[in-house]
Amino acid sequence: MDLVDIPENPVPSGAVTGAITTSDRFTLRFARWRPTTRKGLGTVCVFTGRAEFIEKYFETIGELRDRGFSVAALDWRGQGGSQRLLKNPRKGHIDDFSQFDRDLAAFMEKVVLPDCTPPYFALAHSMGGNILLRNSRRAPAWFERQVLSAPMLELAGRRASSPYVHGLAEILGLIGLGNSYVPGGSSTAASVRPFKGNVLTLDPGRFHRNNDIIDAEPGLGLGSATIGWLWAAGEAMREVMHPDFAPRVRVPTLMVAAGDDRVVSTRAIESLAFRMKIGSHIVIPAARHEILMERDSIREQFWAAFDAFVPGSPVFG
């Protein structure tokens, strides 16, 4: 699928797009760009969260290019313009997060390392942050540094993150219901729900812009998660929150948490950061889950933290 271009969200100039195949033969969509300046500071790889797609980050990609970075992005399997896992393309499904690890490896080996300028940095949101953290223990590391926006370490709320919910998802999967929507779930794309009452952002313009992308290309939309996804996500979150995990992270990491996050647990982000040897965090007050889709005043705080952490950004001169 080509990148979707709409007046409110034009494709950044100079895009190179294509498809790659993973080791288990899934097809993934990717895109990459050169910087708009001559600085040549390396490459930032952008990794989306659940139900997201490359087009949603065009604004962010432009801001990275203006800083002097090349940018590369992909759609995880099962979402965006990549191959879906079930016959119903609206179901957000995965059997195990190790499948996402294969996506990351294919992307790095077939797109980033051959065609993008080092050094390599990562910018990941939510589910993407979990995937990057879990892969940050490998040697050699893929990235020099990584910035994680509201990483998915635990779900918000005691009920959502309880062992009971995880155990129930496992039982339902074992009796053949893993491909079913979570209770109350539907095929309605998360991005096209009303702005009023949403838990993602306080910015109506960016919220509606993302809706318009789905309106222009419904194939990008993804509905609720499946029971199988919920179980797999629970396993991945347990892994990163295990007491032995934090000291083994090899990539310097900045986690940016949202002060009013109702999707993932900000407390879990703070807890993990305190246990990491080469990790830190900040909390942006009042921000909701999608920090990079937030109001300008909130996004400015994110970029100030990014610029202070990633070598070559404006604060480094």
Domains of the chain: 16-316 (3.40.50.1820)
The tokens of 243 are what?
A: 């007491």
Torsions phi, psi for 184 (to 5 deg): 85, -5
Average pLDDT over residues 309-317: 70
pTM of the full predicted structure?
0.95
Q: Yes or no: say if 64 and 58 are a contact pair by the CB < 8 Å rule.
A: no
Q: What is the number of alpha carbons within 13 Å of residue 158 lying toward its C-beta?
A: 0
H/E element, 253: strand 253-258
Helices (H), 5-126: 58-66, 98-107, 113-115
Q: What is the pLDDT of residues 94-113, one digit of tens each?
A: 999 999 999 999 999 999 99
Closest CA to 100 of 65, 62, 126, 139: 126
Average pLDDT over residues 294-311: 97
Residue 191's pLDDT band, with cuts at 50, 70 and 90, is: low
Amino acid letter at 201?
Answer: T
The total of other beta-carbon atoms located within 10 Å of residue 174's CB is 10
Closest CA to 196 of 182, 181, 211, 184: 211
Q: Which residues contact 185 (CB under 8 A, 6 or more apart)?
A: 223, 224, 225, 226
CA dihedral for 24, 189, 299, 35, sign (positive or negative): positive
Per cent of the chain over pLDDT 90 is: 84
CA dihedral for 185, 98, 147, 46, sign (positive or negative): negative
- 145-149 vs 279-284, strand pairing mode: unpaired
Evaluate if residue 84 carries a pLDDT over 80. yes
Q: What is the pLDDT of residues 276-298, one digit of tens each?
A: 999 999 999 999 999 999 999 99
Q: Yes or no: say if 111 and 30 are a contact pair by the CB < 8 Å rule.
A: yes
Evaluate if residue 160 carries a pLDDT over 70. no
CA distances to 22, 100, 115 from 49, rounded to whole Å, are 19, 12, 24
Average pLDDT over residues 7-30: 98
CA distances to 143, 265, 282, 287, 290 from 271, rounded to whole Å, are 23, 10, 12, 19, 20
Provide the mean pLDDT of the chain: 94
Evaluate if residue 317 carries a pLDDT over 50. no
**Which pLDDT belongs to residue 38?**
79
**Which pLDDT belongs to residue 162?**
65
